[in-house]
Amino acid sequence: MPSPSHSLLYRVTLPMLSALALAGCGGDDDDPATPSVATAEQACSTLSGRTLAAATVTAAATVAASGPAPVYCRVAATIAPQLNLELRLPQQWNGKLYYGGGGGYNGAIPDLSGNNLTALQQGYATVNSDSGHSGNLLSAAFALNDTYAANLFGSLSIPTVTSSAKEMLQAAYGKGPDRSYFEGCSNGGREALMAAERNPNLFDGIISRAPAYNWVGFMGQFNRTAKALAAPGGQFNAAKLALLAKSVRDACDANDGITDGVVSNPQACSFDPAVLRCAAGADTGDTCLSDAQLAVVSSWTSPASWAGGTYTNPGWALSGNEDDLGAWPVWVTGGGNVQGALQYLFQDTTVKNYLARDPSQDSLTYTWDADLNALYGMAALNDATNTDLRPFKNSNAKLILWHGGNDSALSYRATTAFYQGVTTAVGGQANADAFVRYYIAPGVDHCAGGPGADTTDLLTALDAWVTQGAAPGTLTAAKVSNGATQFSRPLCPYPQYPRYTGPANDAAAAALATNYACSVP
């Protein structure tokens, strides 16, 4: 990898080279004197109609600045037969590549929004793909009869797209990227870890947020909890859900030094749902939980295991914000209709297309480990559970792990287990600290949202670590609404949590990260 001084030199000389590029643009793609910088228009002109590293450019057009998005060259390309990507080349390139991961079962190229937009604004060339099939992110139908599509989704699309993106940057700018980063959340977080495990030299830095890395394990727990909800009397209405969440908050919110609606120190929370049991376990109204409903809570919080412990999921910690709209209503209970909940829908399409391999199979009557070979096959494709990241570490790459504390889709406990596994595999905490950081954001839903502070510029933190050796410590998280920060909190390195240290009964002080200290549970 080039030295930081190379990047600095590149940046300093950029205006001069831009002038040269404008003066000398003859439209000859193969001219050895191709300048090392290009305007968006020149980048598009250079790439139009080309095939580079098997990617055939199907469209290349300059997109005018609009709202928060700067001017850039948008390149659409296809790697035959069916892997589609979009590369965005900024006018003012910072010399680096940012690859944004997908979500769910993918099937579409992510929009220029969120972290992809932020990266483009910061001068990164950005790339996204559909991971090799077109479809609904809730559908695994692509995997039923198309082994190649299943392999692309599982792991192969990332190195394939990255190779093409790097070659296109080389052609457009006259130089490849000085640094390449990958960031993803949920399935994108799984893609991030898959790259770290199987392609340890591909990226200089990786951000894996709320990673869906133990595919067989968490899908199996989705199946188990869906069955508990579908059992007679198992469903939660809004009042029952609010009762559960408020009871957890009443017991545990203040354990972090402030009653702010968020349980930031869940390890100090020992709430027992059994105190909510209705008389004799029958459903006697909204002020208690029946035995069938307590069975749902038990499925939620207890570990799950299949194939003799080969595949596991650790269950979720009760957060006190289960009733947030982006938590249980969307992911677990479906607002009273379990078959509309995302956990149900994901496990259902997984049973139909990967395990039973029968689109008519009812997932609620399917035994998760009925076919061990089916589990092994899906794990080989999709599980990113190999914690031995020594090759990644030895390539001098860096990894940031992040997970929302109120994530009802995927449990942060699983990410904690991965982090602990990596720490052991690389030989202890000091070795882990050299290349991996793990943050839990209290009160934050799956990837974003929820009552907690969900916004942190992890990319800038990663870049400073990679390019300057400035290892990230405590970061700052903000709750942003309409572009304005509502409140902030420290984002603490695991296992610490933000403890309030400011004056009591002072709402202004409570809104400032400086009035919290990262503390060990």
In the complex, the residues that contact Ca ion under the rule CB under 5 A are: 253, 256, 260, 262
**Sequence-distant (≥ 6) Cβ neighbours of residue 435 within 8 angstroms:** 389, 392, 393, 396, 397, 398, 399, 426
Of 181, 233, 230, 190, give the one whose Cα is nearest residue 212. Answer: 190
Q: Tell me how far apart the alpha carbons of residues 309 and 217 are, in angstroms, rounded to a whole number.
A: 10
**Residue (436 or 510) nearer to Ca ion, CB:** 510
Query: CB-wise, 183 or 260, nearer to Ca ion?
Result: 260
Nearer to Ca ion, 260 or 323 (CB): 260
* Least spacing, CB of residue 320 vs Ca ion, in Å: 8
Contacts of 176 by beta carbon, 8 Å cutoff, 6+ apart: 166, 167, 169, 170
User: Strand pairing partners for 182?
Assistant: 99, 206
Name the residue nearer to Ca ion (CB basis): 317 or 400. Answer: 317
Which DSSP category does 395 fall into? Answer: T
The minimum distance between CB 254 and Ca ion, in angstroms, equals: 6
Smallest distance, Ca ion to C-beta of residue 513, A = 14
As a whole number of Å, the CA-based R_g of the chain is 24
Q: Coil, helix or strand for 123?
A: coil
Instruction: Select 166 or 499, whichever has its Cβ closest to Ca ion.
Output: 499
d(CA 257, CA 498): 9
State the nearest-atom distance from the C-beta of 258 to Ca ion, in Å. Answer: 5
Question: Which of residues 149 and 510 has its CB atom nearest to Ca ion in the complex?
Answer: 510
CB of 442 to Ca ion, least distance (A): 8
> Minimum Å distance from CB 261 to Ca ion?
7
Closest-CA residue to 310 (of 377, 364, 363, 357): 377
Label residues 46-74 b or e (16+ Cβ within 10 Å = b). Answer: bbeebebbebebeebebeeeeeebbebbb
- Closest CB to Ca ion among residues 377, 495: 495
Residues comprising the chain, all counted: 521
Name the minimum Å distance from CB 259 to Ca ion.
6
Q: What is the DSSP string of 48-110?
A: TT-EETTEEEEEEEEE--BTTBPPEEEEEEEETTTEEEEEEEESS--SEEEEE---TT--SPP
CB nearer Ca ion, residue 274 or residue 508: 508
CB of 242 to Ca ion, least distance (A): 18
Residue whose CB is less far from Ca ion, 236 or 487:
487
Query: By C-beta, is 452 or 472 nearer to Ca ion?
Result: 452
The residue to which tokens 């870049």 are assigned: 463
d(CA 228, CA 141): 26
Q: How far is the CB of 297 from Ca ion (least distance, A)?
A: 21
Nearer to Ca ion, 110 or 320 (CB): 320
**C-beta of 263: minimal distance to Ca ion in Å?**
6
**Dihedral over Cα of 146, 150, 153, 156: its sign:** negative
Sign of CA dihedral 439, 441, 447, 448: negative
Bridge partners of 289, per DSSP, are: 277
CA distance 261 to 479: 14
Give φ, ψ of 64 to 5 degrees: -70, 155
Handedness of CA 35, 37, 40, 46 (dihedral sign): positive
Residue number, 213 or 516, with CB nearest to Ca ion: 516
Q: Are strands 83-90 and 72-79 parallel, antiparallel or unpaired?
A: antiparallel
**Cα three-residue angle 6-36-97, rounded to 5 degrees:** 70
In angstroms, give the least distance from the CB of 519 to Ca ion.
12
Closest approach, Cβ 418 to Ca ion, in A, equals 26
